[in-house]
Amino acid sequence: MSEELEPAKKPEPAEIEPSKIEPVKIEPVQWFVAAVALALAAGACLYRWVHHERLGQSSVMFLGIPAVLAIIVALTPRARTITGGVSGAS
């Protein structure tokens, strides 16, 4: 009962066959989430910049930022469901 167990041997990088390694596939949903996060970050940065430059009541605020957000949303992958389409365009 006092025998010590040896830790499991980790395979060396040379021991792994290249045919067993599967490439990582990025799903369309992941692209959508990344695009929404990018749109939110871009909108927040632009909003902060507009107020920092005291352009809060100019056309930059009411035309520029919505245009940038619309371009980012338009470049996202097409939604496969109605719920995805509504949440992507809102």
Decide: 52 and 64 in contact? Cβ < 8 Å.
no
86 to each of 29, 89, 90, how far by Cα in Å?
Answer: 14, 5, 6
Mean predicted confidence (pLDDT) in 76-90: 65
Sequence-distant (≥ 6) Cβ neighbours of residue 31 within 8 angstroms = 76, 77
pLDDT digits (tens, 9 = 90+) for 34-75: 888 888 888 888 888 888 888 878 777 778 778 887 887 777
Mean predicted confidence (pLDDT) in 65-87: 73
Q: Which two tokens stand for residue 81?
A: 């469901």
Please name which of 86, 74, 90 lies closest in space to residue 35, comparing C-alpha atoms: 74
Distance CA 31, CA 76 (A): 7
pTM: 0.49
pLDDT digits (tens, 9 = 90+) for 3-18: 666 777 765 666 566 6
pLDDT: which is higher, 14 or 29: 29
